[in-house]
Amino acid sequence: MNPDIIRERQNATFDVETLTNILDLGPEKTKRRREIESLVLSDPDFNEKDPNFLARSERYDQAVRKSAAMILKLREYGISDPEEILFYKRLAKGHHPEALALHFVMFLPTLYAQCDPKQSRKWLPLAESFQVLGTYAQTEMGHGTHLRGLETTATYDPATQEFVMNSPTVSSIKWWPGGLGKTSNHAVVLAQLFTQGICHGLHAFIVPIRDLDTHEPLPGITVGDIGPKFGFSEVDNGFLKLNHVRIPRENMLMKYAKVDLDGTYVKPPSDKLMYGTMVFIRSLIVGESARALAKSCTIAIRYSVVRHQSEIQPGEPEPQILDFQTQQDKLFPLLAMAYAFTFMGQYIRETYQRITGDISMGDFSEMPELHALSAGLKAFTTWAVSSAIEVCRMACGGHGYSRSSALPDIYVDITPNCTYEGENTVMMLQTARYLVKSYQQAKAGQRLSGTVSYLGEARQQRLQPQPMAAGQTVVDISDLASLVDVYKLRAMSLVELAANSIQEELGKRKSHAHAWNNSAIDLVRASDAHCHYVVVKVFTEKLGQISDPAIHSVLSTLAQLYALRGIKQNSGDFMLAGLLKGSQVLQISARIKELLSQLRPNAVALVDSFDFNDKSLNSVLGRYDGNVYENLFEWARKSPLNATEVHESFHKYLKPLRSKL
């Protein structure tokens, strides 16, 4: 064990195990998680090659092998609880996606949700026994978030009682679905349904794409891998071109909408029934983003206490780089963010469970709130985390750029979350639509509930901070409740600003659609402020549930840092809304410096509390024992370029150069 990191752990002011239990939502959960993790750790089948040293086809191969192994082993161990499966897979997968992910997270859930009873009897046994391996083919080369734009057609032919599935243009080729290129033999294809000459919009169809036995593509099917990406080398994101492929009528998923034998279309009872999965995945993304950031902070902070560099006091030994204020200012706000987003992830999961419970009881009243919350927070957290991981990487200097740090892998694994499951800007605008609508309802005297209820607070109360401009102070920067309040008032002022912008544009005789587009910058900003408020609020409320005084203290410090750093970075908004005076902005800067110093002794303990196993981090820089340099050398020697002492290019190109000159 590196002596620096030992000393860091001795200096901590709180008990790491207790905080781990809080993060896991109870000591029993911690225990069970570790039991499951030990199954992976003790299993020689998961001692695979570092994917960094493999070519893409080998990485895909290894990922498929692992997917198959996980299926068999989980069954063998009798692990079937979704959370426990997640514990197992997280450790087995590392930072890399699972080859069969789409079968589990999209194909099977779609079958469960949208098969009628007869279809369930046919398809579920096939899919659950992996004879049918499936994916979910929605996006097309030319069409993403805007589903109505999809071009693939499914035209019913009553003569044969078949649907003719077709990709009419190049831009209509299905593009991006995970597992579509090489792995899947079936796909749920989203297509515009035509019957009796009328288009009834998007519906889902089960399309066989490869022979069950030979795995060769079926007639009329052009299928393959879309090529290398920034990350996701393990996954065969694919394309699918359908050339008038005929499938039986029964392959349309018919739990809700139906097409009768003669081609008569039967409408679904509601078009909101397909909503749930997307909202669920978006709320999961919040937690996964938090996890990626927590890993990155663990790596960067552990490395920053074993790395010595430069000087503070001339003549003294090189200090640990975490002693530089600039390094603390890079990493501690991100550590605070990792905690904030972890609690936010827990909150949104609980909210999802509560509201879907209500929905299943027939109460749809909170569905818009849930949708707006998950859309906005998915965007807010993934954007923030994406940038934050790169800050962590750069905080590790050159070695952060090495694949041995794992930070590049964590980055490319998480950054697509900004785009998939709803492009972030589109998500922010959806949340903004809800905010503006709520604001207008409140103005019209309606009562609001949920996270937006502040938009209905009395106008007088909203305007309270205004007198501050004349010198009167209402914000106490060392009181979290007061900080939650200013975040709320800032969000309110930005929602108001966006709503006013729309009114102004309408006043210029613009259509509502153009008024909306011409206010889009303000609308995104308003959503961002709303999400920021919710995160600060949830973090603050979480503190109320923590009884251990030492942990309460250090988490309060983190919460204050998170809140104050956000104010500092957006100080213009707060000053513009009359919420802060210049002198307070200066006080906040000074206070942030104090908080950084306060956190310094607990930095390593705070990342240790996330309790990432070394295998899960797969980072030479982030090792628990801090023994970075020896292991960096070991790792490098395994580089494939070191398999021979002399690379063939010397003989082919370099040596001949001499004689040619």
Buried b (16+ CB within 10 A) or exposed e, 530-569: bbbbbbbbbbbebbeebeeeebeebbbbbbbbbbbbbbee
- Give the orientation angle of helix 325-360 with respect to helix 367-395, to 10 degrees: 160
Q: Quote the tokens at residue 601.
A: 């002794």
In the set 234, 288, 369, 421, the catalytic residue is 421
87: enclosing H helix or E strand: helix 82-93
Residues 193 and 260: their CA atoms lie apart, in Å, by 13
Enumerate residues 6+ apart whose C-beta is below 8 A from 582: 575
456 is in an annotated binding site: no
Rounded alpha-carbon distances, angstroms, from residue 47 to 41, 66, 369, 640, 644: 8, 11, 45, 18, 24
Task: Establish if 307 lies at the interface with its own copies (CB under 8 A).
Answer: yes
Residue in 153, 195, 424, 616 binding its own copies, rule: CB under 8 A: 424
- Binding its own copies (rule: CB under 8 A), the pick from 104, 112, 130, 275 is 130
Within its chain, how far is the Cα of 193 from the centroid?
A: 32
Q: Confirm or reject binding of residue 139 to its own copies (CB under 8 A).
A: yes
> Which of residues 176 and 352 has its CB atom nearest to its own copies in the complex?
176
CB of 299 to its own copies, least distance (A): 14
Token digits for 23?
């993060």
Site for its own copies (CB under 8 A): which residue of 1, 199, 463, 521?
Answer: 521
* 647 binding its own copies? (CB under 8 A): yes
Nearest approach in angstroms of CB 573 to its own copies is 8
Q: Judged by CB, which is closer to its own copies: 272, or 593?
A: 593
Query: Applying CB under 8 A, which of residues 419, 482, 587, 613 lies at the interface with its own copies?
Result: 419
Interface region with its own copies, contact rule CB under 8 A, candidates 40-48, 170-178, 352-360, 439-447: 170-178
Using the minimum distance from each CB to its own copies, give the nearer residue, 170 or 266. Answer: 170
Nearer to its own copies, 217 or 276 (CB): 217
Which residue among 149, 201, 248, 357 contacts its own copies (CB under 8 A)? 149
Smallest separation, CB 247 to its own copies (Å): 21
For residues 366 and 349, what is the distance between their CA atoms, to the nearest angstrom? 14
Query: For residue 80, which amino acid is it?
Result: S
Interface positions, 207-266, toward its own copies (CB under 8 A): 214-217, 224-231, 236, 239
Integer CA distances (angstroms), 609 to 58, 335, 488, 539, 613, in order: 35, 12, 30, 17, 11
Helical H segments across 256-324, by residue range: 275-306
What type of residue sits at position 426? Answer: V
- Selected binder of its own copies within 114, 296, 415, 431 (CB under 8 A): 415
Segment 271-300, which members bind its own copies (CB under 8 A)?
Answer: none
Is 421 one of the annotated active-site residues of the chain?
yes
Q: Measuring CA to CA, which residue among 136, 111, 116 is closest to residue 126?
A: 111
Stretch of 281-289, 421-429, 445-453, 471-479 contacting its own copies, by CB under 8 A: 421-429
The minimum distance between CB 546 and its own copies, in angstroms, equals 29
**Contact between 146 and its own copies per CB under 8 A:** yes
Write the CA distances from 484 to 234, 301, 477, 488, 495, integer angstroms: 42, 28, 10, 6, 17
80 part of the interface to its own copies, by CB under 8 A: no
Give the number of other CB atoms < 10 A from CB of residue 522. Answer: 19
23 vs 576, beta carbon nearer its own copies: 576
144 is known to lie in a ligand binding site: no
- Of 344 and 389, which has the nearer Cβ to its own copies? 389
- Residues numbered 559 to 588 that lie near its own copies (CB under 8 A) are 568, 570-576, 578, 582, 585-586
Q: Distance between CA atoms of 362 and 627, rounded to whole angstroms?
A: 57
Q: Which residues are annotated as a binding site?
A: 139, 178
Annotated binding site for FAD: 139, 178
Active site residues: 421
